[in-house]
Amino acid sequence: MKSSLTLCCLCLMLFTLALILPSQTLEDFDQNASVATPARQMLHTPAQEVGDTKSFWAVDYDAEEYYTADAYLLAIGVHCYIYFEDLVISIIGQEEADARAATYQEEFDTNIYPRVTDLAGDPDGTLGDIDGDPRIYILIVEKRQSYYMQSNEVEGEHSNMCEMVYICYRTTYPVRTISHEFHHLIWFNYEFDEVHFILEGAAEYAMYYSGYLPVNNWTTRVQYFFEDIDDSLIYFEVEAQDYGACYLFAFYLAEQYGEQFLRDLVQHEGDGALGLETALEAAGHNISFNDLYLDWMTALTIDQSGFADDRYCLVDIDATIQGYTTIESFPYQDDNLGLYCYGSKVFQLSSPPDTFTVELGQPADGISGISVAYSDASGWHVQQVQAQGRAIITVTGESITTAHVIASYLFAETPTGDIDFGSGARENVQLLIYEGNEATTTPLPWPNDSDQVLIIIAGSMPVIAAIVVLVLILQRKEKDMAKL
């Protein structure tokens, strides 16, 4: 269930974006301007000295307004200025502030800058260097958010006229967060309007690429997604599970199509899922976004290599969905399976039969998608279907030991870059899983005393089914006679 708090967060984010994003587009700037990559590598005499004070525009996200942050310059690096807001220094003390500033400067110069620029490109991008100083301003603030504002790099009422990121002093992993926000800075120097599931996924991946994640390569937000796998991939609500989902999606893209694909994506003209689709096509990969989504969800469900060109596994991260529903008997029916657009529900079949059928009703405003992954005597197999009407898959294997069913709500047309914030549409559809081939009549659970008998003759066993139906009819007649 999506809470009212989510709506409040969304409204706040929408307000903030309207507040800080400039009205200009890339067309307002010289797109043929040369990118000064060599200049970034040259030593540049800093325009400031340690101890200097400076006032910056910053945003109070709680009050939904700009404020002035007075700050002290505590460290200067080859690629950065480290400023601490005076309120932060008064809270943690000068000695602690100096120590943190030295750490951030060292990490940014020696690791974050070279790694993130290798992944995303030159910080000047298409906009160029607004202040003529190649150093990035890193402002450590007292307010609880860490963020990047592209409006600082164009003229405007609240522009600081420099390339900078804001880092909350209370953040648990500050250098990790700096790498994330720095990736945003680079991307927004190439374009302004990419959607957030791609932007945030790539920025989260930058933390991995910089070497700041634990040994399992999980961000802190991955677990939140695994607790809410029905969360829409393409709609962003600025919640932890959104970041977890888009990070795993970016990780999957990098492993399937190479990190060079993530680099090229920064400068690709298209946006959103459709832009991703055209970027894959440009890189020589013929796959629709819907197919990509189902493959990704299947990989997160089974994480198995050695078949289907390793499309259904993640090599450098151990991440498999645990929040699935276990089905222990058949037939199984859910008449109100709630699905968010580009969200999924996963089912594990306990003691699956060697032949079973899955049916998924069509959402009112989309199409149904099913992915079935199962292991039998000959190994792992995946069957998928997308249908404008009712989606149906019949699986037949030899001594099936493990089976998973992924039910998804998709769009018939690839989503465009207009789709970004929100939770997305939610639909209730019918899910049926039953033993045997596709039934001639839609199967329902076994009838009880209050149910009407429904005749089901499965194509694989018509004689036995007919006998069962005859017995049920006779039993019902006996009960009816007993009531007279």
Write down the pLDDT at residue 417: 76
Domain assignment present for 36: yes
Q: Residue 52 corresponds to which tokens in the numbers above? A: 């200097």
* Cα–Cα dist 255/216, whole Å: 15
Do residues 127 and 186 both lie within one domain? yes
Q: Residue 179 corresponds to which tokens in the numbers above? A: 């790498």
Contact partners, residue 463, CB within 8 Å, separation at least 6: none
Domain assignment present for 463: yes
HEC string of the chain equals CCCHHHHHHHHHHHHHHHHHCCCCCHHHCCCCCCCCHHHHHCCCCCCCCCCCEEEEEEEECCCCEEEEEEEEEEEECCCEEEEEEHHHHHHHCHHHHHHHHHHHHHHHHHHHHHHHHHHHCCCCCCCCCCCCCCCEEEEEECCCCCEECHHHHCCCCCCCCCCEEEEECCCCCHHHHHHHHHHHHHHHCCCCCCCHHHHHHHHHHHHHHCCCCCCCCCCCCHHHHHCCCCCCCCCECCCHHHHHHHHHHHHHHHHHHCHHHHHHHHCCCCCHHHHHHHHHHHCCCCCCHHHHHHHHHHHHHHCCCCCHHHCCCCCCCCCCCCCCEEECCCCEEEEEEEEEECCEEEEEECCCCCEEEEEECCCCCCEEEEEEEEEECCEEEEEEEEECCCEEEEEECCCCCEEEEEEEEECCCCCCCCCCECCCCEEEEEEEEEECCCECCCCCCCCCCCCCCCCCCECCCHHHHHHHHHHHHHHHHHHHHHHC
Do residues 385 and 451 both lie within one domain? no
Strand order in the sheet with 325-327: 325-327, 344-349, 402-410, 367-376, 379-387
Q: Which of the listed residues 420, 438, 456 is the one where a domain comes to its end?
A: 438
Write down the pLDDT at residue 322: 84
Write down the pLDDT at residue 474: 53
Do residues 290 and 374 both lie within one domain? yes
Write down the pLDDT at residue 126: 82
Q: What is the mean pLDDT of each run of 10 residues along the chain (484 residues)?
A: 41 38 28 33 72 96 95 97 98 98 98 98 88 95 94 92 97 97 95 92 97 92 90 93 96 97 94 95 96 98 96 94 92 96 96 96 94 98 95 97 97 87 91 87 43 33 44 50 46
Do residues 363 and 404 both lie within one domain? yes
**For residue 123, cis peptide bond before it (omega within 30 degrees of 0):** no
* Cα–Cα dist 34/26, whole Å: 15
Do residues 25 and 112 both lie within one domain? yes
Do residues 32 and 112 both lie within one domain? yes
**Cα-Cα-Cα-Cα dihedral of 227, 297, 354, 349, to 10°?**
10
Do residues 375 and 232 both lie within one domain? yes
Domain that holds residue 104: 4-192
Do residues 63 and 155 both lie within one domain? yes
Neighbours of 5 (CB within 10 A): 9
Write down the pLDDT at residue 125: 86
Domain assignment present for 479: yes
The domain total for the chain is: 3
* Amino acid letter, residue 61: Y
Do residues 391 and 411 both lie within one domain? yes
* Phi, psi for 438 (deg, rounded to 5): -55, 130
Do residues 277 and 173 both lie within one domain? no
Domain assignment present for 252: no
Domain assignment present for 203: no
Chain segment 180-191, per-residue pLDDT in tens: 999 999 999 998
Domain assignment present for 352: yes
Do residues 233 and 382 both lie within one domain? yes
Write down the pLDDT at residue 449: 36
Question: What's the Cα-to-Cα distance from 43 to each of 39, 77, 109, 134, 189, rounded to whole Å?
Answer: 8, 10, 12, 9, 22
Do residues 23 and 94 both lie within one domain? yes
CATH at 365:
2.60.120.380
Q: Residue 209 corresponds to which tokens in the numbers above? A: 């690429």
